[in-house]
Structures are given as C-alpha cells and as structure tokens.
Amino acid sequence: EVQLVESGGGLVQAGGSLRLSCAASGFTSDDYAIGWFRQAPGKGREGVSCITSSDDFTYYAESVKGRFTISVNTAKNTLYLQMNSPNPEDTAVYYCAADLACWMSGSNLVEFASWGQGTQVTVSS
C-alpha cells in the first residue's frame, strides 16, 4: 500500500514562497507518477502538477505555470512543490497523490489511486 505524508503547508504572504513536501513509501515499482491536487473552500478538487519518477513527463495546470515547480527525489521517494509568487487564489488544502501514470482527461489531471491527508496552504494578501 502506497502511503503519502505531506508537510510544509502554512501561512504565506502573497508574492512570497513556500515549499511543500510529500514523503512516499510502499511503491512496488520504480516507475510511478506522483503529483499535487488542491481543493479550495467550496470548490472541487483541482489537479495542480504531476511528474513521473523517470522525469520524462511533467504537467502543470495553467493557473500555476511559471510560478510553481514540481520535483521528485527518487532516492528519498520525496516529492516537492516549490510555490513562488503565490496569490490568495492559491489558498487550498494541497494533497499529494500517486499512481502508475499522470492520468489525464483532456488537459486536466484526473483521480489518482493513492492520496495523502492534505496540508493547508493559506496565502494572505
């Protein structure tokens, strides 16, 4: 069973920076995909970014392109999301998720098999 534990959330000022981490364990293969979703109050869950363990594919939602950077340390099985220049619209619970691939429907990430508990990110204006 894949287990995912997020950390690094908190309060950040608009225009600042924050880095989220996700410690992963339980993978049965060296090939996997791992990424970030978020859910703001009163809104549906949104796919933010995804990366494959082989680093041959990355995805970013249009809303975060150029501001957020995803990376994975496969030796440590740890995923990161560097959030630069966040704005109040980025306020949400951020979830780490993993599966065999970055499953897409059109230009959007779709549901993954394994999920973390989430970490709150609040961006103040």
Per residue in 73-119, pLDDT (tens digit) is: 989 999 999 999 999 999 999 999 999 999 999 989 998 999 999 99
- d(C-alpha 108, C-alpha 74), whole Å: 25
- The pLDDT assigned to 42 comes to 94
1-15: pLDDT as tens digits:
999 999 999 999 999
In whole angstroms, give the CA distance from residue 115 to residue 42: 20
Mention every residue, 6+ apart, whose C-beta is less than 8 A from residue 8: 18, 19, 20, 21, 119
Q: How far apart are CA 34 and CA 28, in angstroms?
A: 14
pLDDT at 95: 98
What is the distance between the alpha carbons of residues 22 and 6, in angstroms, rounded to a whole number? Answer: 4
The band of 41, judged by pLDDT with boundaries at 50, 70 and 90, is: very high
Residue 111: the pLDDT is: 82
